[in-house]
Structures are given as structure tokens and as C-alpha cells.
Structure 1
Amino acid sequence: MYNLKSVELFPRLMTDPLSFIHACEECYNRRMEELLPKITPEKRFIALAGPSCSGKTTTAHRLIDFFEQHNRRVLVLSVDDFFKNMDEAPRDEYGKPDLDHIDHVDIHLLRQVLSAVEQRKTAFIPTFNFKRRCREDVLKPIDTAQYDLYIIEGLHALHHTLYSLLNEEHMFGLYVTVAEPYYLDGNPFLNIRKIRFLRRMVRDYFQRNASLPYTNSLWGNVIKGEKRFVYPSMMQANWLLSSSYLSEPMFMRHDAIPLLKKVPPEEEMFPLAQALMEKLNRVPSLDPSLLPADSLLREFIGHL
């Protein structure tokens, strides 16, 4: 079976692209199949965390599909929806919004919602509008008694501030990440952070109205926040799930290269854009329309 050190085999693999795509999807599916029996019936809460653009949202939907097929009623609570408005966001030492800081989460409101969930009462859930970069004015009422499994999904879902709000006996901690770098000719080709940056760059451009320079300007705080808040929380996890796909660079280049070409020379990220294009131009291209409808990579492909 293919692994992430097989990038040098791209030309041969591309002779049968559909078979190759299917094999890559099966790798992720088998990881999910290995995970699912670990989430036993007494677990009422799944805390699903991981660094930025690790595939948390798609993994949550896969969990929903599985458990609903097994007659469990699942509610997903996204920690992102509890973000404070931009003008309330914590700032770094340079005055920039630090959107990945734990203090960007409205812990008081989240505590109220989780308390309602534990008591099986009606909870009032916020919605964060990423294009407007603020929370919607209206809270959505949800009768939590209709559900018996709750997925708490987000960057900080395993952070002790959130994790401590619930009974640990009923919790299952799941940490999702791009776990392996990509290799070409036996050498590291795209490291884990570069892959996640490409995912975020494309996703935020198409789904969150964010330019590439804007995304790049936040990336330093993203990494800083992960080191401070996310990586330590991995110790709370009962299971680590890799979201690495060997086919990813071939799909990602379809959207990423045209966007990177638009970065003007005067932008700070111009050298990075050139370096990423050089790397992506070394691999063949796959049309994203070939991705299966439930592929995790669709979370990060802009135009689908």
C-alpha cells in the first residue's frame, strides 16, 4: 500500500489515477475503522481537537455518519462558533488579533451550553460568521435531550479549560493531525506545516473571504497558539488520527498555484509563494472533481 514516502512514484501511480485516488481514500478509511470500536457506548462526549486545518470538521461528519447508522443521535458543537467578535479578540505583542489564543473562545457561554447539554436541557448555540468575522446576533435553541452523543470539535476541544467542564468518564479525546511529511526522491518535500498552510490558504480564500497575504500574516500566531495551547492538549487524547493523504499535493496544486501566482513581489509572502509553487510544480495535477463526495480533502478544496 502507498505511504507518504512514495511521492517519487507519482508518475507510475498516475497511469491509473482513479485506482490511486481510491487507494488513498482507503488509507484514511482504514484509520477511521480502527478508531471507531475504541469509542465505547458509555462515552457520551467526543472531544475532537487538532491543529489548524487538520481535518477536524470532516472527521466529525464521518463520526456522525457512523454513529447514526448505529442508532445514536449525534450533536456537533463547534468551538469555533464560540469565538468572540474580532474587536474582542486577544492581541499579540504587535497588536495583531491572536485568533488562536484560548481567550478568543467565550468560555463563559460555552460553559453554559455544556451545562445545559449535561442536564439534557435546551441550549442556546451561537454561530460565528467567518466571512464577516463576527458572531451572529441570534442564538439558536437546541433541545439537547434529543441526542445521546455530543461531538465537541475545535482547535481547543482538548484544552484543559474546556475538557474540565465535563465528566471525564464520559469523554473520549480524539486528536486529528497531518501526521507525516511528504517525500520526493527520498528527501522531505512538503513538511507538515506547509501542507496545513496550503490547506488553510485555499480554504480561507474561498470559504472565509481571506486573501493569501492576510492568511500568511496570521500564520505566525497560528503556530504560536498551537505550541502553547494545542500540542500540550494532545496528552488528553485517547487516540491520534492521521489525516495525511498521498494524493493531496496533486489535488491541492489545482487551486493553490493560481492563487500563489497572484501574490505580487512587494508582498512579504512573495518568496514563500514562489517556493511553494516550485514544489507543487514538481508533482502531477489531479482534477479535484475526481475526489469522492465524502473525501476529507474536499474540506480544503476551494471551488467544490
Structure 2
Amino acid sequence: MKRTVKVALNDGKSYEGEVGSRLIDIIKTGKEAGDPVIAKQGNEIIELSKQIHYNVSLELLNTKSPIGHRTYLRSLTFLLIKAVDEIYPDARVVIEHSLSKSIYGEIHFPRELNEQDIDAVKEKMIEIVQRDMEIEKIKISKEEALKIFESYEMSDKLRLLKYIDIPYINLYRCGDLYDYFYGPMVPSTGYLKLFDLKYYKPGFILMYPHEDDIYNIKPFKDLPKLARVFKETEDWAKILDVADVGALNDAVKSEDINELILVAEGLHEKKIANIADKIYENKEKIKIVLIAGPSSSGKTTFSKRLAVQLRVLGLKPKAISLDDYFVDREFTPLDEKGNYDFERLESLDIDLFNKHLTALLAGREVELPVFNFITGKRESLGIKYKMDNRSILVIEGIHGLNETLTSSISKENKYKIYVSALTQLNIDDHNRISTTDVRLLRRIVRDNRYRGKNAEATLLSWESVRNGEEKNIFPYQEEADIMFNSTLVYEMCILKKFAQPLLKEIPADSPAYLEANRLLSFLNYFIDVKDDVVNNVIPNNSILKEFIGGSCFR
């Protein structure tokens, strides 16, 4: 008599199958949009291809969930790499970064990539999906994995694996192609029907369904200014000779990290000085500098360093806090849960703010308000300010790029700056580091150090923060006159020292545990730096010090 196992789902359904059967063979779900791509057993992620040897209770996840979304995108990346390998076996695929909710990457071979190449790759991807090829997870020794990647001439993988201190490693195989990926995959290519691929000089744009619409591919919206910043970031990586985690670990191990830190910080200072120069060149017209960006981008430190550079040029920057223009608490709009929504534009007294700006630019004296967060009301404390011919206002806030905020001021009198942490560092050629993860780790460290919040609280509130960014910041980023990338190529090996112990405190029964575990796995790729580097090498005006402590601006 054959032994059976039972799979119970959180929707009340249950299935039986032979012991050792794959989960997908027991539950027999489909491979269309909306069907499950991954499963969760408590606080453990279960691939649909996993063999089941005992009774389990599971929750099935599709691409509407963040875990399912990442699984689909990761698998889609492997599909693209497999397609390129079949057409151009000597080509090198590099997954670079996100762009307009899509992925930008490049295919390197002796000649320049063209639109016909990308069309051929797309057709091959469709063909491989139709073949429904198995994506098999295999466990092999680290030595065997190194031999495979040596035969592929994948120096990025060899650098990465050099610092992974485990005897065995999980690879994925599709046909005769092996690769390493940071996270779970779908069982076969037949799950990956929904995608699009377009030529985007000098590389490609890979489009995929998003959590808010898992059945369709949204049209690609070009973001040329953001794309240029990423290109500039790539050039920085070449200057620093650090394009992936393995190269960064090499720098730490060889004690070249000190020089790397100083050069990275020097590049930041040069960029900030160049921005100040641009403002100074138009000082007769530019009277207001508006700075905006998503959470934990380092806007506060950036604005203060910019103010220093403006002072060097003989200007007199004056910081104006948007927080002081909040409407009284009783008039604050509410979100869908009935809580005060301080991130909505309507939470600010736009009329008063514009009235004050207009008066200041006209040379009149204005009494600046101060918002009392205890009473929830604006107060007049007799703080008066008047601009002269060297004065310039510096205003930092999430709505800075939204023209409605300063609608009464002519565009020629304003200079808008978008600040974000757009990392140029990837795990390897095929596994990118999300800019969102960089900001999240910064926020975890900062919230714990300065706001009394533990990592669990920060992780649980992150979705709300991200929703606010999608509504109030990202739609306006291309309105910026210039963009500043606040990421530092070395920062992950520093943030690890501070974030790792905080993430380890999150208990296994917490709803934040899975995300904490994912971040911990990610941080394990980085080797530790000495405390002396943190204390004595990183400058006190570094954007990173805004999060880890020790900033001269606090």
C-alpha cells in the first residue's frame, strides 16, 4: 500500500498525494496569470517543486504577494538568460537596475546590440515558455559550483562564491544551463507567459506584471533623467572598480576599503559642489531650491551639505521646513484607515506657504510659523525673516517636486533636486540589489538609533511608506532639474554591522520574520569591516552617518 501525505491549504481545501511527490503534482494548480507560483508554510518559503514527505498546512501565493512577485521576476530573469544562451552562447547578460517598474539590462558581445537582437531574444523566450522546460533546484558542493562557473567564465560568480563559507550550494538548472539565484523559483518556464522585452539603447527593458495588476503588462514609461543618473552611477562604479558584491568584499579583504570610502565620498562632494555651481550660475533667477526624494535617501544631510557649498560661493541659504506649514490637526486629512495622513499634499497649508514665498521673493519680511506637534497647531513665535540679494531658500520635503506646492512661484525662480539611493552595486551579473532594500536597511538602523523603533516595527510600516512614495514622490521625479544619487558603493558592508543584530531580534512568530530573514540572507553576502573603519575613515558629514550615527549635522 502506498503511503500518502495531506496538504491542507489556508482556504480550507485539502489534497492528498504519494509521499515524496512534488507539491505542484499534489495540488495540481495551473500555470496562468493569477495561479500560485510559490507557497508559504508558517515562516518558511516552499517552492512548488518541493517534494512533500509529511502532512503540511500551506498558503499558496501568486504574483500579487511581494514574495510571489519576486519569485516570478527572478524566474523571468533566468528565462531571459537561458534564451540569450541559446542564441548567443558567448554573450554576457548583466541585469543592471529597475527603471519605470521594469528591469534594465545589457547583453555584451563583440558588436553593438540592436533592436533585431532583442526581438530574437524575445521570440526565443516565448519558445522556451511554450516548451515548459523544468527549472530544477540542485544541491551541489561549492567546489563543483566553482568548476561550473569557471567553465562559463563567470568571474562575478567566482568572486561572490569565494566569500560564501558553506560546503554546499543550491543552483538552478534549465536544460543544460546552470545559474545561481538569490531566492526561490517557479517549477518550469511554462509559468512565465506574461512579459515583454524591448530594446532600450544600449540594452533592453524587461517588463513584467505588478502586484496591482497581475494579469497585464503596463506600458513602459521612459524616465530619461533617471536613466542618465543610473548611467552616471555605472561610470562611478568603473572609476571605483566595484560593480558587484564580490569586488567589494575583495576591497574589504585587501584593506583597500579605506581608499574606496574616501573616493566614494569624494565623488559625492564633487557632485554636490557641481550642483551648487549650477545654482550659482543662475543666482539672479534661482531663489528657491526644492529637495525631494523617497524615505531614507539622505535628503537631510544632502540639503545641509549643499547649503555649505552655497555658502562657499557667497550665497546665504535659509532652510524652510515644510513641517511648519502643516494645517492644524483638526483639518488634517485622513487615510483609508481613518488615521491622520500627513503625507498628503492637503495636510499642508499651501495657500499660506505660497503667500509667504511670494512675499519673501518680493523682499518683504515674513513671520515664519512653527508647528507644535504636541498641540497639533501652528504657533507664531515671532521668528521673522527677510531675504537680501544673496539669500536663497532651501526647502526639503516629499512634495518638493510637485508644482502645486509652489504654484505661485515662477519656474525660473525654482531649482528642483531629486535625491534617491540608486545603488550601482549588484550581487552578481544576474542578481541585482534593489534600491528599495538599501533604503529599508538605512531606515531600520536610523529608526532604532534615533526614533526608538525596533526593526520589526520598521518592517511592518514599510508598505505604508512605499505606498506614500508611489503616490507623492515617484510620479514627479522627472520634474527635477537635477538628480543626486545618494548611495555609497561601500555602505552595505557598514550597514550590515548595525542592521544584522536588529533583524535577528525579530521572533519567528512575527509577521515581519520572513522579510527579516530575507534581508539577513542578503547581508550574509557581505564580509565585515573593522570598527576602526566606521569610526575613523567615514567622514562625519557622510550621508551614511545620518543613519548609523556620528553625523556632524545632528
Provide the TM-score with structure 2 as the length reference.
Answer: 0.50
Partner of 1:174: 417
Partner of 2:311: 68
Which shows bigger deviation, 235-244 or 118-127?
A: 118-127
Which shows bigger deviation, 277-286 or 78-87?
A: 78-87
Q: CA deviation at 1:295?
A: 0.7
Partner of 1:25: 265
Q: Is 1:47–1:171's contact at 8 Å kept on the other side of the alignment?
A: yes
What is the correspondence of 1:151-170 to structure 2 with a 5 Å cutoff? 151-170=394-413
Partner of 1:37: 277
Which shows bigger deviation, 49-58 or 29-38?
A: 29-38
Q: Determine which structure has the larger strand proportion and give its number.
A: 2
Q: CA deviation at 1:18?
A: 1.3
Q: Pick one of 232, 247, 250 that aligns with 1:12.
A: 250
Change in Cα spacing, 1:114 to 1:188, as seen in structure 2 (3 Å) is farther
Q: Pick one of 536, 540, 545 that aligns with 1:293.
A: 540
Q: Is 1:177–1:243's contact at 8 Å kept on the other side of the alignment?
A: yes
Q: CA deviation at 1:25?
A: 0.9
Q: Is 1:84–1:105's contact at 8 Å kept on the other side of the alignment?
A: yes
Query: Structure 1: which 5+ residue stretches go unaligned?
Result: none
Change in Cα spacing, 1:209 to 1:69, as seen in structure 2 (3 Å) is same
SS of 2:473 mapped into structure 1: helix
Q: Is 1:100–1:221's contact at 8 Å kept on the other side of the alignment?
A: no
d(CA) in 2 for partners of 1:128 and 1:267?
35
Q: CA deviation at 1:2?
A: 2.0
Change in Cα spacing, 1:88 to 1:291, as seen in structure 2 (3 Å) is farther
d(CA) in 2 for partners of 1:85 and 1:2?
49
d(CA) in 2 for partners of 1:102 and 1:85?
14
Q: Pick one of 383, 386, 389 that aligns with 1:144.
A: 386
SS of 2:387 mapped into structure 1: helix
The amino acid that maps onto 2:287 is R
Q: Is 1:125–1:142's contact at 8 Å kept on the other side of the alignment?
A: no
Q: CA deviation at 1:162?
A: 0.9
d(CA) in 2 for partners of 1:281 and 1:221?
27
**Could you report, residue by residue, the CA deviation over 1:66-101 in whole angstroms, capped at 9, with x for unpaired residues?**
111121111011324444577765443234544433
Change in Cα spacing, 1:142 to 1:87, as seen in structure 2 (3 Å) is same
Provide the TM-score with structure 1 as the length reference.
Answer: 0.87
What is the correspondence of 1:117-132 to structure 2 with a 5 Å cutoff? 117-119=360-362, 120-127=364-371
Which shows bigger deviation, 234-243 or 216-225?
A: 216-225
The amino acid that maps onto 2:272 is M
**Could you report, residue by residue, the CA deviation over 1:211-234 in whole angstroms, capped at 9, with x for unpaired residues?**
333323332222222222211222
Answer with 1 or 2: which has the greater Rg. 2
d(CA) in 2 for partners of 1:209 and 1:278?
25
Q: Is 1:176–1:242's contact at 8 Å kept on the other side of the alignment?
A: yes
SS of 1:293 mapped into structure 2: coil
SS of 1:103 mapped into structure 2: helix
d(CA) in 1 for partners of 2:516 and 2:242?
23
Change in Cα spacing, 1:281 to 1:142, as seen in structure 2 (3 Å) is farther
Query: Structure 2: which 5+ residue stretches go unaligned?
Result: 1-238
Partner of 2:182: none
Q: CA deviation at 1:253?
A: 1.3
The amino acid that maps onto 2:407 is S
Residue identity over aligned pairs, in percent, reads: 27
Which shows bigger deviation, 156-165 or 43-52?
A: 156-165
What is the correspondence of 1:44-83 to structure 2 with a 5 Å cutoff? 44-83=287-326
Change in Cα spacing, 1:299 to 1:109, as seen in structure 2 (3 Å) is farther
d(CA) in 1 for partners of 2:333 and 2:457?
17
Change in Cα spacing, 1:206 to 1:293, as seen in structure 2 (3 Å) is same
d(CA) in 1 for partners of 2:520 and 2:343?
27
Q: Is 2:293–2:398's contact at 8 Å kept on the other side of the alignment?
A: yes
Q: Is 1:11–1:284's contact at 8 Å kept on the other side of the alignment?
A: yes
Q: Is 1:47–1:152's contact at 8 Å kept on the other side of the alignment?
A: yes
d(CA) in 1 for partners of 2:504 and 2:379?
38
What is the correspondence of 1:193-272 to structure 2 with a 5 Å cutoff? 193-272=436-515
d(CA) in 1 for partners of 2:326 and 2:456?
22
Q: Is 1:79–1:157's contact at 8 Å kept on the other side of the alignment?
A: no
d(CA) in 2 for partners of 1:86 and 1:216?
27
d(CA) in 1 for partners of 2:251 and 2:431?
19
Change in Cα spacing, 1:284 to 1:229, as seen in structure 2 (3 Å) is same
**Which fold has the larger relative contact order, with Cα–Cα distance below 8 Å and residues 6 or more apart in sequence?**
1
State the Cα RMSD in Å: 2.7
Q: CA deviation at 1:138?
A: 6.1
Q: CA deviation at 1:266?
A: 2.4
Q: CA deviation at 1:181?
A: 5.2
Q: CA deviation at 1:116?
A: 4.1
The amino acid that maps onto 1:9 is A
Q: Is 1:80–1:128's contact at 8 Å kept on the other side of the alignment?
A: no
The amino acid that maps onto 2:528 is S
Q: How many matched pairs?
A: 302
Which shows bigger deviation, 103-112 or 223-232?
A: 103-112
Which shows bigger deviation, 234-243 or 182-191?
A: 182-191
d(CA) in 2 for partners of 1:142 and 1:75?
12
Q: Determine which structure has the larger helix proportion and give its number.
A: 1
Which shows bigger deviation, 110-119 or 160-169?
A: 110-119
